[in-house]
Copies of this chain bind each other. A is one copy, B any other.
Amino acid sequence: MRKLDAEQLRDVARGAAILGTGGGGDPYLGTLAALRALEEYGPPTVIDPQELADDALIAMPVMVGAPVPLIEKFSFGPELETVFHALERFLDGRLTAVMSPEMGGTNSVVPIALGARLGLPVVDADAMGRAYPEIDLVTMTLFGIPASPFALADEHGNHIVISGVDNRWVERIARATVVEFGAICPGMGFPMTGKQVREAAVLGTLTYAEDIGRAIREAHEAKTDAIKEILRITNGFALFEGKIVDVQRRTMHGWSVGEAVMDGIGEFADSKMTVSFQNENLVAFRDDQVVAAVPDLITIIDSDSGEAVTTERLRYGFRVVVLGMPCDEKWRTPAGVALGGPGHFRYDFEYVPIEELNSAAERAGSAA
């Protein structure tokens, strides 16, 4: 167990923005909420999964919905505690820790804010090692851990508790309610034991995000190349450098869905890139060739600020670098690819790991 200070918290948020693949909500807002909770309740505690008792009871708080309204609607108030208590009322024991379902954007810091408020430790792990737009797209589903009971709450004090026959049904039912709750609201579910966390979660990702965030901060301070640091830590690829020339975006079924088109510059001057997204970036096409696809990570970085750009903030004219990073091995099993791969999002191509799509030789070829 260790305490997280304000600087470390900001590092986590900065790193999680990279792992958030454009989704999970604007990390800036979540960070503000977490910093406020830290100031009010003291520094949150991070617990290593190995320190959890086998029968410890852990659940995952999460903002569900389209990130766009999050900018106007800041759901980190009492509704976060409402959703916690609504869930706990449904459980046989008391929750002993909270964990992030996704190490991305707002959702990487939501459990930190809640943990600080309630004096509960935050597990150094998540359920994706990235961000995904649907509740059932977590490694728990691969290990048969139910999302139910799953609670949702809104800022008026309304809340519901869902018991779904499988995690896909929880997603369907929750999505219908989220739209009624104003397109985004806090949820909490996936009650599981410490033993299950160690088996099913992606371990150490809070520290992983913090490492990435610290490297970016230090590069900024030293005026060195932050992107090179990110690629080194994540074993990633610089897929493209260019300027955004078109963004299509609509809110559909409670998601922010669309694509961004970029004209290349520098090494990629003769190329075009299209990144399609559903809250998170899903597929990167360079000159109509897939160069990265879910479950691998695709993140768009603002060349000026060196910070990750979430899908709801993509704008015409931004100069960007597109990064691709390998996902956790749990997503590369047949079950993992079936759950979180291109087919789930109705693409008709097979998943190929990013390392195979972007060998050194190919990259040289594309730049020729």
Assess whether A156 is interfacial by the CB under 8 Å rule.
yes
Q: Which residues of B contact A172 (CB under 8 A)?
A: 180
Q: Which of the four size classes fits the interface of chain A?
A: 20 to 34
Q: How far is the CB of A86 from chain B (nearest CB, A)?
A: 7
Interface pair B173/A158, CB less than 8 Å apart: yes
Q: Which residues of B contact A181 (CB under 8 A)?
A: 173
Which candidate, A48-56, A159-167, A297-305, A330-338, is the interface stretch facing chain B? A159-167
Assess whether A269 is interfacial by the CB under 8 Å rule.
no
Assess whether A142 is interfacial by the CB under 8 Å rule.
no
Which B residue sits closest to A169, measured CB to CB? B158
- In the complex, the count of this chain's copies comes to 2
Contacting B at CB under 8 A, from A69-123, are: 86, 89-90
Which B residue sits closest to A175, measured CB to CB? B180
Q: How far is the CB of A58 from chain B (nearest CB, A)?
A: 22
Assess whether A45 is interfacial by the CB under 8 Å rule.
no
**0 or 1 for each of A176-192: is its CB under 8 Å from B? (1 = yes):** 11011100000000000
Interface pair B160/A165, CB less than 8 Å apart: no
| Most chain B CB atoms below 10 A, which of A172, A177, A179 | A177
25 CB < 8 A contacts A-B = A86-B163, A89-B90, A156-B165, A156-B169, A157-B165, A158-B163, A158-B164, A158-B165, A158-B173, A159-B162, A159-B163, A160-B160, A160-B161, A160-B162, A160-B173, A160-B177, A161-B161, A172-B180, A173-B177, A173-B180, A176-B176, A176-B177, A176-B179, A176-B180, A177-B177
Q: A86-B163, A89-B90, A160-B161 are in contact. List 13 more A-B contacts (CB 8 A).
A: A156-B169, A157-B165, A158-B162, A158-B164, A158-B169, A159-B163, A160-B163, A172-B180, A173-B177, A173-B180, A176-B179, A176-B180, A177-B177
